[in-house]
Amino acid sequence: VRGGGGGGGGAGKEGESGEKRTGSGAGLGFGATVRPIGVVVVKDGKVSWQPIIDVMRIVLGAQLLGLAAIFAVRRLIERR
């Protein structure tokens, strides 16, 4: 779960006695992101937990690891 919030404020002019005061201001915000991590399965009167496997995240991690390995090997070869 990720989230973020915001706030706001305002500004106005101070009027003299009897004058109408003017000003403006406002603001507020919030956003959130949620990812499922698993599902509860009820089957034949039995309950089990099945984690969700994010294949794209696994593939991306493997690609980044492979890229790091390529750079490490390249650096080792250049030092020789």
Q: What is the largest CA-CA distance in the chain?
A: 85
What is the residue range of 59's domain?
A: 2-79
Residue with tokens 């991306």: 60
Cα–Cα distance measured from residue 4 to residue 32, given in angstroms and rounded to the nearest whole number: 7
CA atoms within 13 A on the CB side of 62: 6
The count of domains in the chain is 1
pLDDT tens digits for range 28-50: 888 888 888 899 999 999 999 99
In the numeric block, which tokens belong to residue 21? 């005061």
pLDDT for the residue 80: 81
pLDDT for the residue 63: 98
Tell me the backbone φ, ψ of residue 65, rounded to 5 degrees: -65, -40
Cα–Cα distance measured from residue 60 to residue 38, given in angstroms and rounded to the nearest whole number: 20
pLDDT for the residue 71: 96
pLDDT for the residue 49: 94
Residues of the chain whose pLDDT is less than 50?
none
For the whole prediction, is pTM greater than 0.75? Answer: no
